[in-house]
Amino acid sequence: MAGGAMAENMCNQKLLPVFHITGGEGWINDPNGLVEFHGEYHVFFQYYPHDCKWGPMHWGHVKSRDLTHWERLPIALYPDENEDGCFSGSAVVWEGKLWLLYTGFKQNEGGETVRQLQCLASSDDGIHFVKHGVVIGEKELPADYCPWDFRDPKVFRRGGMFYCIVAAKKRGAGGRILLFESEDLFRWKFVVDLFERDGKGFMIECPDIRDDMGLLLYSEQFYPADGNKFLNVHSSLYCFGELTLPRGYRAEGEGEIVDYGFDFYAPQTFPNTPVMIGWLNMWDRTNPFEKYGFAGQLTVPRRLIRKGNRLLQQPVYDGVPVRTEKDFSTLSDHLLVGAVKVQAKGLSEFSVCLRKSDEYVTLFERRGDVWIFDRSKSGMPISGAEKDADSLAGIRRMPYEDIEQTEIEIVSDLFSLEIFVNGISLSSVICPPTDADRLDLRISAGSCIYTRYQMK
């Protein structure tokens, strides 16, 4: 669709998520450059403003004081004569400036002539950026790695040095994560291949590391399914361990799934705050939201907690309680935009119908030792490249833990549901009409408390 015709269409039918980050119009994917600067949270993202399909990547930009209300800012990075796209990356504050380290993409003749090299940009005010060109190029990349699959730098500081991890691919082999170091962000040198072994999928993307938690996050294309885990065409994983220089990263076990839902990828964290945001979508999916003029949104921010070798998540939002009920077996309410929390002791049964109308419903319930999420009747159909039975049926499963205290938190926006059970998450987009807002809950427990929150 021509740009003008699309713009007219978007103006006629525009409907956006209320508190989730979008581009306003057009396509978005990975969150980029999460950072705190001048007392505000900044989030950038992969953005193509001219169509609801992936195109030459820009960096969209929003900021917030409370991680709930976001102010849209001018596009931070544009493709130019030196790069056909500004791919994913990260941000760091240094000497009073905001610096972006990102992947400059050059198509050339395609295939092995593609170049993905790491570039630098800076800003005094956090809004207007000046590009400084390639700072980690082919001469910094060891010769046995592919310069056409080399992307998504995550910069961090340790001591007086800058470090960055970059997703890479070894020639004739699989995905890797490489570590580089610098004193000044401009001159970098290779340190180590973090694992010195291939990932299980085709290519690793969007690595993120937190020294304060010993946490490594990464995403993998075509990661193999494992029971009810990793059913999406691409998956996001985490592991705990220790980064020892110059030896690499020693993980305390295999990579574990970050989110059990249909729509979660490429998470990134803020450097100074253990809060994570991911892309609330998945590659190779149909897009029923195109009629509203947008494609893609980011997850609600999530505070990260380490419990042993498990990663737990708590949604972050600015909400006020508007209804509370105690010790009931059935309950009806309305939930379109907001959140509900159910705290139960001795839970034996739980079933909730969300975004319900006479025609549509999304179901989340316990069945034996699993939680079932079913979006098969949630609204306009959404399909993808996945061919397993659960995916085709609109179902995702998450393990149930038989413990004394269960806390279930459900965050709802116009086109998404993010569900957290004792810190384990399941996130999916849905596309019902806005008048589908009923909630019907059935529960059996020794005691329970229901609270609904309205966003401020």
Cα 262 from Cα 375, distance rounded (Å): 10
Half-sphere exposure of 242 (CA within 13 A, CB side): 4
Q: Cα separation of 331 and 341, whole Å?
A: 13
Helix (H) or strand (E) holding 153: strand 145-158
Rg (CA), the chain: 22
Q: What is the DSSP letter of 250?
A: E
Q: Please list the active-site residues.
A: 30
User: What's the Cα-to-Cα distance from 269 to each of 301, 304, 424, rounded to whole Å?
Assistant: 9, 9, 17
| Cβ proximity of 31 and 44 under 8 Å | yes
How far apart are the C-alpha atoms of 17 and 308, rounded to whole Å?
35
Exposed, middle or buried: residue 76 (CB in 10 Å: 0-12, 13-18, 19+)? Answer: buried
CA–CA distance, 60 with 296 (Å, rounded to integer): 12
Structure tokens at 248: 């690499």
**CA geometry: angle 299, 275, 162, nearest 5 deg:** 120
Burial of residue 172, with CB atoms counted within 10 A of its CB: 0-12 exposed, 13-18 middle, 19 or more buried: exposed
Write the burial class of residue 435 (CB in 10 Å: 0-12 exposed, 13-18 middle, 19+ buried): exposed
Instruction: Return contacts of 42-46, CB within 8 angstroms, 24+ apart.
Output: 42/91, 42/98, 42/126, 43/70, 43/277, 43/298, 44/76, 44/77, 44/91, 44/100, 45/21, 45/298, 46/87, 46/88
Structure tokens at 317: 């939002």
Strand partners for 389:
none
DSSP-based three-state secondary structure for 180:
strand
Q: Is the backbone peptide bond immediately before 301 cis, with ω within 30 degrees of 0? A: no
Per 3-state DSSP, what percentage of the chain is helix, strand, and coil (rounded to 5)?
A: 5, 55, 40
And the tokens for 61?
């930009």
Element at 3 (helix H, strand E): helix 3-13
Pair type for strands 175-182 and 188-193: antiparallel
Phi, psi (rounded to 5 degrees) for 2: -60, 150
